[in-house]
Amino acid sequence: MTVDATLTARGLLLDMDSTLVNSEAVVELLWQRWADEHGFALEEVLAIAHGRQGWATMAALLPDRPEELNRADNARMLADETRIVEGVVPVAGAPEFMASIVALPHALVTSANIALTERRMDAAGLPLPSIRITAESVTLSKPDPEGFLKGAAELGLPPEDCLVFEDSEAGISAAKSAGMRVVGVGPRAIAFSPTAHVDDLTRIRVEPLTDGRFAVHVLR
């Protein structure tokens, strides 16, 4: 492997689903059920759903539907997602990547709630960062930048010093709106013009520097 790009940062902000944890089988199963109930094709739903909180996806697809119905559907879906962990595995390279950043400032920024976050990270065998921004932490879902801005604030860093790892259009858009650079992870991410792109986390190497920053090497 050779270095394709090097990005420097003082903190990392990490999405969870499809960035660290492969939970797509469960996600597709439950959204298929919802899509069937409401007359949508699964592909139509997933084009919006990735990266967003469930209620926000429902609101985008059914703009005239009362919010309380979307919130209720979202609560039921979260309960099912928390219960079903078959097929939830780490994204390739995620265990090694998480081990390499354990001593560096980093936070999880996910659209999942606390219970689902803990369940999926545990199912994938990944350590849970001490700083995490979950659905309970924000009033607005990605693509709004609120979650990433809160993550940077929790790290005590300005947005421009943070590097985001994301897979979805909503997440990449949120990071860019927050004034942050983005490493897109996985095949979906490349279409949304991240700062750099990797197929999975086996292509990332992190190197501490002497001035409090660290270098993130993107390999090809």
- The dihedral over CA atoms of 151, 155, 157, 159, expressed in degrees to the nearest 10, equals -20
Give the structural domain span for 98: 3-23+87-219
Q: Which of 4, 15, 73, 80 is catalytic?
A: 15
Residues 19 and 29 in one domain: no
Taking residue 84's Cβ as centre, other Cβ atoms within 10 Å add up to 16
**pLDDT tens sequence for the chain (220 residues):** 788 899 999 999 999 999 999 999 999 999 999 999 999 999 999 999 989 999 999 999 999 999 999 999 999 999 999 999 999 999 999 999 999 999 999 999 999 999 999 999 999 999 999 999 999 999 999 999 999 999 999 999 999 999 999 999 999 999 999 999 999 999 999 999 999 999 999 999 999 999 999 999 999 8
Give the pLDDT confidence score for residue 151 in this predicted structure. 98
Residues 52 and 157 in one domain: no
Taking residue 69's Cβ as centre, other Cβ atoms within 10 Å add up to 13
Give the pLDDT confidence score for residue 86 in this predicted structure. 92
Query: With 0-12 CB in 10 A as exposed, 13-18 as middle and 19+ as buried, what is 136?
Result: exposed
Give the pLDDT confidence score for residue 105 in this predicted structure. 98
In one letter, which amino acid is 144?
A: D
Q: 83, 108, 134: which is the final residue of a domain? A: 83
Residues 53 and 109 in one domain: no
Q: Which of 17, 73, 144, 167 is catalytic?
A: 17
15 is catalytic: yes
Residues 95 and 120 in one domain: yes
Cβ within 8 Å of residue 148, ≥6 positions away: 13, 109, 133, 159, 162, 164, 174, 175, 178, 180
Q: Phi, psi (5° rounding) for residue 188?
A: -70, -35
Residues 65 and 101 in one domain: no
Q: 34, 54, 83: which is the final residue of a domain? A: 83
Both tokens of residue 52? 């967003």
Give the pLDDT confidence score for residue 29 in this predicted structure. 94
**Number of independent structural domains in the chain:** 2
Among 56, 147, 157, 65, residue whose Cα is nearest residue 105: 157
pTM: 0.93
Residues 68 and 36 in one domain: yes
Give the pLDDT confidence score for residue 3 in this predicted structure. 83
Residues 104 and 182 in one domain: yes
Cβ within 8 Å of residue 76, ≥6 positions away: none
Among 162, 144, 166, 142, residue whose Cα is nearest residue 154: 162
4 is catalytic: no
Q: 65, 83, 101: which is the final residue of a domain? A: 83
Residues 50 and 12 in one domain: no
